[in-house]
Structure 1
Amino acid sequence: MSNIRQVSGEERLHTAFTLYPYAFGETPSAGAAEELRDTLPFHEDNHTLIVEENGRTIATAAAIPMQQNLRGTVLGMAAIAWVATHPGARRRGHSRRLMHQMHSDMLDKGHLLAALYPFHPSFYEKFGYVGLLLNRTATFPPEGLAPLLDVTLPGEVSWQNIRDGFEVYRAFLRRVLSERHGFMFTPDFRAARARDSADRWLATATVDGEVVGLLTYRVDGYGGRLHADELLYTTALGRALLLQFLAQHAYHVSRIVITVAPDEFPETWATSITVRTEAESAFPTSPAMMVRLLSMDALRGVRCGAGRVEIELVDDQLLAGRYLLDGTGGTIDVTTTGTAGEKATLTAAGLSGLAYGVLDPVDVVARGLGEISEGAAVELRALLPRHTPHAFGKG
């Protein structure tokens, strides 16, 4: 007989962590156990569940308590990770049971959203998850940005080791969290990995003492590549300053590889820049992030357009029911009473796609995630218009 229970602290080492090396590591990996022990501080407040059978761990899942911006409102978000099952216990429903328990537990802790990287997207779609847009990778020679060096911009860019600039880095991420739809913010115990590893440079763009952009990166050697993480900025000037800084690496590195948001267009950064911008969705190695609402309260008070529609949520343990979504006041009012002229039937994945702004009502119907009349589609487009989420800030 198997049962689910929560584990914490060093108990993770001989329970959940026993499945990690085989599921996520290389084979063989002699030092895996010690490496996992070293990561314990970065799992400190994770919610870790295991399935036990005859005293042995046969499946596990965990959630990192994070925050995410949904259309301008910052909410608690559970980042589901390390879902693994012993090979001899697979296809017996353990992951399904763990996901249901995890959703319930994290909702009880006040998390209204959930996100994960799927090993099998259709499996998670049944749990109400829908895919987000992929971030892009832009690759180009730094000389392509050379024209920017001929322009004098107000402000400056400084650089230092991430360890030395960690507090500035975290403060800026908190600010971006409040401003950018889809942005995520990791808890301090998790983000400490970046500080403790100290394996990144931090470039900070400031104007009149205010941070307007930053970039973490590493250089793999003279004449090699500069690998930059997420290009983050709050103003166009912040972006321009960071790009100007990258241009200064001509004849230092041969290529710059940088992660940009789905609505960033590197081909416009400079005249005649030679750049390859790409995104590849592949499973299980490079999947798009998937997200869902854990509660209808996630939509309550969210800024919206002036739509009004009655929806029925089906096939979901958490959201099933009838709701009236009213955006005539400028923010969404969610009630379980009242009626509207237009009605729609949605799965949790269909609603999540609309809420995050990645699906149009027609997409929802075409993908089998709901039944929406033409009139209801008009109301839903007004209420929850398309909106590009910036799934940055993973930490």
Structure 2
Amino acid sequence: MSAIRQVSGDERLRTAFTLYPYAFDETPSPAAVEDLRGLLPYHEGNHTLIAEEDARTLATAAAFPAWQNLRGVVSPMAGIAWVATHPAARRQGHSRRLMRRLHSDMVDKGHRLATLFPFHPSFYDKLGYICLPQNPTATFTPEGLAPLLDVRLPGEVRWQNIKDGFDTYRAFQRTLLPRWHGFTYTPDYRAARVLDAANRWLVTATVGDTVAGTMTYRIDGYGGALIVDELLCADAIGRALLLRFLAQHAHQVTTITVTVAPDDFPETWASGLAVRTEAETAFPTAPPLMARLLSMEALHGAHCGPGRVAIEVVDDQLLAGRYLLDGSGGTLEVSASGTGERATLTAAGLSGLAYGVLDPLDVVARGLGEITDAAAAELRSLLPRRVPRSFGKG
């Protein structure tokens, strides 16, 4: 059986990085491995594992440290990435073993949540992950926002290259982290990819001395498209200021495409705005984010409704056990199992309830648990449906 070990620094070039070009890029490319040397700084704090046999790297998986908001509680989160296997070593269990070891290592480091973009969702289903809603894009013409040009708004916008406004951009993301369920804040060494490339414009909306919104974007050519990465706004005024800035690009670009949250409604941004809102999911090219709990501690203190239910988590090396979920105090308390309505859940079923993307009946219908009607009512009150704003890729 292959041995699993952690690698770091330049050793990644001779081990994990040898698999990346084949798995994620156009091949063959003789210079690809050496070109990856430039990516080393963006892996600086990653926890990188390899499976090897006779000094040959067969598979790899990595995680970067981040923070994520789960129902009002900000917890350390592991961002799983760079999962790859040599083509001759596939379907032999290497990636599954690496993922289990990676989960265990990240829990030991204090991480309570994990997210990833799956290459094959059913593989991660069995590892306890659940799909989160895809962030849709809204596409419209700049002329559609023309009504905003005549509106007097408090505040102003500042336009600059991302390289000059990086600190402001990151500081605003930190303010959103405790406010938005599902929001992720990545480490500086990973977020620096957008800084070092310097291929984005940054617009910052401020009201007084307070930042009310930011967006990074690029223009693909005269008469082409203006593409906004993520529309991040603290309130409606911040959004209106950013949209008014976009309206000023009439006669320069033909269309504007903005990535928005699943619970945003672009058709309400301006009267008569003709907009196409869509979310494409395709594997492996456009997968939705998947997430799971690594520790029951992630639920401690979460905002919840009233309720009390005893659950048993099964078939999971990290969460298996019996617990009591109690929301009588307005925030969730998790303790050793006691009295109450009972439910049996897989890790994916519990994660779907925790992130607010599944109703208890969805859990049952998908075979992710067995829940009585009484327990379903308690869980529905404790962990009501809630849309994660899974922004903040960094």
Give the alignment's TM-score, normalised by structure 1: 0.99
Match of 2:360 in 1: 361
Match of 1:45 in 2: 45
Structure 2 distance, partners of 1:357, 1:186, is 22
Give deviations 1:243-290, integer Å, cap 9, x for gaps: 111001101111101100001111111111111100011111111110
| Higher deviation after alignment, 16-25 or 298-307 | 298-307
- Written as runs of structure 1 = structure 2, the 5 A alignment for 1:1-395 is 1-340=1-340, 342-395=341-394
Structure 1 distance, partners of 2:140, 2:299, is 40
Which amino acid counterpart does residue 211 of structure 2 have in structure 1? V
SS at structure 2 position matched to 1:386: coil
**Cα drift, residue 364 of structure 1:** 0.5
SS at structure 2 position matched to 1:195: helix
Structure 2 distance, partners of 1:46, 1:156, is 38
Structure 2 distance, partners of 1:30, 1:163, is 32
SS at structure 2 position matched to 1:60: strand
Are the aligned partners of 2:312 and 2:320 in contact in 1 as well (CA < 8 Å)?
A: yes
In the comparison of the two structures, how many residue pairs are matched? Answer: 394
Structure 1 distance, partners of 2:145, 2:104, is 49
**Cα drift, residue 29 of structure 1:** 2.4
Structure 1 distance, partners of 2:126, 2:336, is 24
Are the aligned partners of 2:6 and 2:47 in contact in 1 as well (CA < 8 Å)?
A: yes
SS at structure 1 position matched to 2:171: helix
SS at structure 2 position matched to 1:165: helix
Structure 2 distance, partners of 1:267, 1:338, is 48
Structure 1 distance, partners of 2:253, 2:336, is 59
Structure 2 distance, partners of 1:74, 1:112, is 10
Which amino acid counterpart does residue 97 of structure 2 have in structure 1? R
**Cα drift, residue 372 of structure 1:** 0.7
SS at structure 2 position matched to 1:179: coil
Structure 2 distance, partners of 1:109, 1:252, is 50
Structure 2 distance, partners of 1:30, 1:53, is 24
SS at structure 1 position matched to 2:177: helix
Give deviations 1:293-334, integer Å, cap 9, x for gaps: 001111011111111000010010111111000010111111
Structure 2 distance, partners of 1:85, 1:174, is 35
Give deviations 1:32-69, integer Å, cap 9, x for gaps: 12321001001001000000111000100000111100
Runs of 4+ in 1 over 3 A off after TM superposition: none
Are the aligned partners of 2:70 and 2:182 in contact in 1 as well (CA < 8 Å)?
A: yes
Structure 2 distance, partners of 1:338, 1:278, is 45
SS at structure 2 position matched to 1:345: strand
| Higher deviation after alignment, 26-35 or 7-16 | 26-35
Which amino acid counterpart does residue 388 of structure 1 have in structure 2? V
Q: Unaligned regions of 5+ residues in structure 1, if any?
A: none
Structure 2 distance, partners of 1:326, 1:226, is 48
Are the aligned partners of 2:310 and 2:337 in contact in 1 as well (CA < 8 Å)?
A: no
Give deviations 1:133-155, integer Å, cap 9, x for gaps: 00001111100000110111111
Which amino acid counterpart does residue 144 of structure 1 have in structure 2? G
Structure 1 distance, partners of 2:253, 2:34, is 35
Q: Unaligned regions of 5+ residues in structure 2, if any?
A: none
Which amino acid counterpart does residue 253 of structure 2 have in structure 1? V
Give the alignment's TM-score, normalised by structure 2: 0.99
Structure 1 distance, partners of 2:36, 2:177, is 30
Structure 2 distance, partners of 1:214, 1:382, is 35
Structure 2 distance, partners of 1:327, 1:124, is 30
- Percentage of identical aligned residues: 71
Structure 1 distance, partners of 2:190, 2:35, is 16
Structure 1 distance, partners of 2:111, 2:274, is 43
**Cα drift, residue 30 of structure 1:** 3.4
Which amino acid counterpart does residue 391 of structure 2 have in structure 1? F
**Cα drift, residue 28 of structure 1:** 2.5
